[in-house]
């Protein structure tokens, strides 16, 4: 995994070993390391907490269709209330929440209701660490890029 200039030394070592296939890393990891790679290089980072906000479109066309279907169903559930300025926003919120929790609300692709909400975990849970696969990837790729892992780049 290459991120020049952050891991030029790792890239050079790989080239000396005859490695000819290089790939770019996770976008969150790459941006983080471009910003604070020098702090890692000087051993000034003891720990770090990173937050990422992913676009639904990154999950592909099926997921985007599901999101749009969810949004349409939520609007349909409260369309008459939305047209009435005297309607209670709390009543609207209750109806939206009930619709999102309904068994027939489409969530086959995301696994959860994203329309009108958010999904705090991306990908699947890794039971041995309590992390999601996306969280683990951030840790693993950071260490690979910095050459702190036994896994080759």
Q: What is the pLDDT of residues 21-74, one digit of tens each?
A: 989 988 889 999 999 999 988 989 988 888 888 888 988 999 999 999 999 999
The whole-chain average pLDDT of the chain stands at 90
pLDDT band with cut points at 50, 70 and 90 for residue 153: very low
Q: What tokens were used for 122? A: 């991306």
Q: Provide the residue ranges of all domains of the chain, joining segments of one domain with +.
A: 8-52+122-145, 59-118
Q: What is the mean pLDDT of residues 111-135?
A: 87
Q: What pLDDT score was predicted for residue 152?
A: 52
Q: How far, in Å, CA of 137 to CA of 152, rounded?
A: 15
Q: What is the mean pLDDT of residues 102-115?
A: 94
Q: Count of H helices and E strands in the chain? A: 5, 2
Q: What pLDDT score was predicted for residue 150?
A: 65
- State the burial class of residue 111 (Cβ atoms within 10 Å of its Cβ: 0-12, 13-18, 19+): exposed
């Amino acid at each position: 995994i290459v991120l020049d200039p952050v891991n030029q030394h790792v890239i050079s070592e790989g080239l000396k070993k005859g490695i000819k296939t290089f790939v770019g890393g996770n976008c969150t990891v790459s941006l983080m390391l471009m910003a604070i790679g020098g702090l890692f290089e000087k051993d000034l980072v003891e720990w770090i907490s990173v937050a990422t906000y992913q676009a639904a479109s990154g999950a592909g066309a099926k997921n985007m269709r599901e999101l749009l279907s969810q949004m349409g169903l939520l609007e349909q559930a409260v369309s008459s209330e939305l047209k009435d300025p005297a309607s209670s926003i709390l009543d609207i919120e209750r109806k939206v929440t009930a619709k999102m929790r309904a068994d027939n609300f489409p969530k086959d692709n995301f696994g959860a209701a994203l329309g009108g909400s958010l999904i705090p975990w991306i990908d699947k849970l890794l039971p041995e660490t309590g992390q999601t696969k996306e969280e683990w990837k951030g840790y693993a790729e950071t260490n690979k890029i910095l050459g702190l892992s036994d896994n080759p780049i």
